[in-house]
Structure 1
Amino acid sequence: MAGTESRLYRTVRLIRRFEERAIELVRDGTIVGGIHPYLGQEAIAAGTCAALRPGDVITSTHRGHGHVLAKGADPSRTMAELAGRSTGLNRGRGGSMHAADFSLGILGANAIVGAAVPIATGAAWAARRAGLDRVAVTYFGDGAVSQGVVLETFNLAALWRLPVVFVCENNGFATTTRFADAQAGTVTGRAAAFGIPASTVDASDPQVVLREARTAVERARSGGGPSLLECVAYRFDAHHTWEHAARPRYRTDEEVAAGTARDPVEIQGARLDPGERARIDAEIEDRLERAVRFARESPDPDPAGALDHLYATATPARAGV
């Protein structure tokens, strides 16, 4: 358990400081276009990815840096990707909302609401067809639960009992619209309609998320079919960094103070010896300082290669297909 506590803390702390450093790079112009900060939701990525094996796969969202880091992506190459540099995970072509690393099972973030859900489910179907012992996890926000493609995917996954775990990150807002103002019913109720086991999880505690994720992943791996985890968190920062300048008023200071009172980094950090926590913090600061320097010093992509990797290479048809 002690090892698990340290690993979870290392992950949530890495994500927290990565996002804070990325916001700094948005402000100084190194990252162009802004980001969707993951602050406050770190326990979801940390807990779910800790339940996975290296060969398992994930798909992510526009708010996906935490998932990518928790699955093992290199912080330096991830930061370079956000900055659009040629040394990034995807040579600067993916940016903040489309980072991927197939070698780590990160099949990509996706800026289209709910669009990554069928991709992960397709990967789960393909793995089962190939006889692979692999689980797919897909993340999506509360704003995606009424997207038709998400509900259609629930149906298919349940019908075929696919090894996929649906993780709804319910931070209470779809951009600036409250969940209750835009969605009828409940997140878990949508899953129940398709016979998919679903639970609501306190996503401020990394260990609670890990416990629930392990149950869902084991169910999927053993042939029990899909599950849904509604991970209820509070988004500490803006929907997007444009809010830092525009300052829309859709929640009060009192609400933010109450919502941020349960901090996943502090909750997990309190479980560690203070000396160990300080050592991990120092290691992460050094790692992220190197990541920021790497991103800033890396070259921009060569405009002459702008069309490279844009079109798929022609693949000859296989006999009998």
Structure 2
Amino acid sequence: MDLSTPAGRYRAIRLIRRFEEQALELVKSGVIVGGTHPYIGQEAVAVGVCAALRPQDQITSTHRGHGHVLAKGADPARMLAELAGRVGGLNRGRGGSMHAADLSLGVLGANGIVGAGAPIAAGAAWAAKRAGADRVVVTFFGDGALNQGVLLETWNLAAIWSLPVVFVCENNGYATTLPAASAVSDPGGSGSGVARAAGFGLPAEAVDGMDAEAVLAAATTAVERARGGGGPSYLECTTYRFEGHHTMERRMRLTYRTPEEIAAWRDRDPLERASALLVEGERETIDAEVERTLAAALEFALASPQPDPATAADFLYADGLIPRPGVMV
């Protein structure tokens, strides 16, 4: 995916938005079982950060990770098939919504455990540094991870070892339904992790996560610092999810957010802000192209077969399932 121009970045944001909207419909129809965590509203973060990366760079993702995987260049058809649990998926239908990976693109995997991608990213960054590889690793996580010990431990190691890793917090204001301002202690009382990260010696910066260009500028600085041997950085992207934490939230009718709050954030829609940088007629052309791409993706996903139950134990071990003598399987 070419993210080097405003048009390319708009296309990526549009693709992620429409992919997620299509996924919502497939959850309703039962094609995607178990639901998803929609990324709608946060697209500028994934696109802005991935636009600062090179093909050899790597990322770790989260339970809300479709946008990260797509922005890093994953095939939408295989991604949609993965969500639908089909053998044509990125991980043959085994990973699903919260565990999609594509090692060929540097996507080391999404993770359903809050904050658990950080130490994986640090390990990959340590391996790159030891090998003398010109590679940077980015780990995405939400504000809910700011109170996870594993993240703080990883910050400490990354700082001590000067690892080429960039920590990207997508602070959408809520850990499920818990407001960040009431859960994360910081000097400003806003629920930010900037001061906390700075306390570990990380260069730390907050940026408008609803603006792909602003995210790109900040991410470029952090990535170049890491690639040049300057060590880790913390980038906090202030953003907002327009949908619920999970698709199940629509049925639960929760009231932790007001319609006015959601409307105010929708006025800052990253899709509209990105479209403002396009020339006349460019948006319509790109939108039509995205629709064709997703129509083909849907056709591919629905045509892909479901896994054979007899293969349920496949891919669990590097050399296949080899039981010990006398052990029943």
- Aligned partner (choices 266, 270, 275) of residue 272 of structure 2: 266
TM superposition shift of 1:83: 0.4
Alpha-carbon distance in structure 1 between the residues aligned to 2:73 and 2:239: 22
SS in 2 for 1:274: coil
Alpha-carbon distance in structure 2 between the residues aligned to 1:269 and 1:288: 19
Q: Which residue of 2 aligns with 1:317?
A: none
**Superposition pairs of residues 294-309 of structure 1, within 5 angstroms:** 294-309=300-315
Alpha-carbon distance in structure 2 between the residues aligned to 1:3 and 1:133: 20
How many pairs align? 313
Alpha-carbon distance in structure 1 between the residues aligned to 2:85 and 2:311: 14
- Aligned partner (choices 221, 230, 234) of residue 215 of structure 1: 221
Q: Which residue of 2 aligns with 1:285?
A: 291
Q: Which residue of 2 aligns with 1:138?
A: 139
- Contact 2:115/2:151, CA 8 A, preserved across alignment: yes
Please give the per-residue CA displacement for 1:271-306, whole angstroms capped at 9, x wherever unaligned: 102311111100000000111111112100011110
- Contact 2:4/2:51, CA 8 A, preserved across alignment: no
Q: Which residue of 1 aligns with 2:231?
A: 225
- Contact 2:82/2:97, CA 8 A, preserved across alignment: yes
1:313 paired with 2:298, answer no
SS in 1 for 2:86: coil
TM superposition shift of 1:3: 5.7
TM superposition shift of 1:109: 0.1
Q: Which residue of 2 aligns with 1:189?
A: 195
Please give the per-residue CA displacement for 1:116-151, whole angstroms capped at 9, x wherever unaligned: 000011000001111100000000000001100000
Q: Which residue of 1 aligns with 2:324?
A: none
- The code of the aligned residue for 2:283 comes to R
- Aligned partner (choices 252, 256, 278) of residue 258 of structure 2: 252
TM-score in terms of structure 2 length: 0.94
Please give the per-residue CA displacement for 1:161-204, whole angstroms capped at 9, x wherever unaligned: 00000000000000011101222123011111111000000011
Alpha-carbon distance in structure 2 between the residues aligned to 1:28 and 1:296: 12
TM-score in terms of structure 1 length: 0.96
Alpha-carbon distance in structure 1 between the residues aligned to 2:89 and 2:63: 17
Q: Which moved further from structure 2: 98-107 or 188-197?
A: 188-197
Q: Which residue of 2 aligns with 1:318?
A: none
- The code of the aligned residue for 2:117 comes to A
SS in 1 for 2:5: helix
Alpha-carbon distance in structure 1 between the residues aligned to 2:137 and 2:88: 27
Q: Which residue of 1 aligns with 2:325?
A: none
Runs of 4+ aligned residues of structure 1 deviating over 4 Å after TM superposition are none
**Superposition pairs of residues 1-80 of structure 1, within 5 angstroms:** 4-80=5-81
